[in-house]
Amino acid sequence: MKAEKYRFDGSQPCVLRRLPCDSREDDVEKADILEKTEQNLQRMAELQDAFYADGREGLILVLQALDAAGKDSTVKHVMGGLNPQGVQVTSFKQPNAEELSHDFLWRVNKALPPRGSIAIFNRSYYEDVLVVQVHDLQKGYRMAPRVKEDDPKEFFRKRYRQIRHYEEYLYENSYRVVKIFLHVSKEEQKQRFLERIDKPEKNWKFSDADIKERALFEQYLTTYDEVITATASEHSPWYALPADQKWYTRYLVSEIMVDALEHCTHEYPKLEKESRDRLLECKKALESE
Ligand code: AMP
Ligand code: MG
């Protein structure tokens, strides 16, 4: 699996600045990758069918990235072939007042899928250790003094632990969490922003806040390194995927989805002899109509 190279399971630290944002190192051909992506999308649909019928395990795909790295288009192009009945997408925006008056995992719990379904998190609880940390938003939170006394490093170190435990809890309750970071370069982000400004049908995707966040690009990379390193585990790995070429990113995401679904239980329920006999009786009745 090509995506293997980009996998973090906690055994080594993540250093994004040493990882590629494009496919050059991987020695691949676009035509070949496009064909393989198609095959993966078909395989995903087949596996999902059995995974849904089986209903013993749930899958959560977390998508994180800086702006314009391709989260939305990944959802559209890689997940678009799944049966919508077994998929739910949640986009995590700035928390509203009700959400802020609860613990940060409260809104996440509400977005968990039933077993047999796939939840796609377009942004996630990881924002609570990323944007919140980069902007020191926790300083404005209404929380007990004993919580707010911690220095920021300590506050977020505790959140990393809480996230690790939460993902372990989910795993032990028959869910799998797979986390993907779309690693876009600063230059490619600039090109995509320019396109969003130039093309009227893309204007809605751009806001001047994006420029302010871009100014913190390096700080985000450093924070992502820390977050990925602290929360990657064997059961809930991170993948830091090159995101400058969408055709390659989509391929890698499709590989990861096939792999994740293959690991999830996906057996069609088998009938006991008695139920099988009853089915055969029904068949006879139908045929003799
Ligand atoms: P978008 O994904 O472009 O629609 O933007 C959603 C915005 O909500 C991003 O700027 C996120 O950083 C922000 N956001 C998501 N979760 C949180 C959070 N827990 N705290 C603060 N901002 C958040
Ligand atoms: Mg945005």
pLDDT above 90 (res 241): yes
- How much is the pTM? 0.96
**pLDDT (tens digit per residue) in 111-140:** 999 999 999 999 999 999 999 999 999 999
- Arithmetic mean of pLDDT over the chain: 97
Structure token pair of residue 22: 């494009």
What CA–CA distance (Å, rounded) separates 127 from 131? 5
Q: Cβ distance 28 to 65 under 8 Å?
A: no
pLDDT above 90 (res 49): yes
pLDDT of residue 150: 84
**pLDDT (tens digit per residue) in 154-208:** 999 999 999 999 999 999 999 999 999 999 999 999 999 999 999 999 999 999 9
Query: Ligand 1 pocket, 214 CB below 6 A?
Result: no
Structure token pair of residue 257: 């989805």
In 10 A of CB 50, how many CB atoms?
A: 16
**pLDDT (tens digit per residue) in 60-96:** 999 999 999 999 999 999 999 999 999 999 999 999 9
Residue with tokens 């007990």: 144
What CA–CA distance (Å, rounded) separates 87 from 80? 10
State in Å: Cα 117 to ligand 2 middle: 27
Structure token pair of residue 89: 């997408």
pLDDT of residue 132: 98
Instruction: Please state the rounded mean pLDDT for residues 18-24.
Output: 97
DSSP 201-268: GGGGG--THHHHHHTTHHHHHHHHHHHHHHH--SSS-EEEEE-SSHHHHHHHHHHHHHHHHHHS--PP
Share of the chain above pLDDT 90, in %: 99
Mutation probe of ligand 1 site: the residue of 127, 135, 182 with most atoms within 8 A of C-beta: 127
Task: Give nearest CA residue, ligand 1 atom 23.
Answer: 94
The four Cα atoms 91, 92, 98, 101 give a dihedral, to 10 degrees, of: 160
pLDDT of residue 119: 98
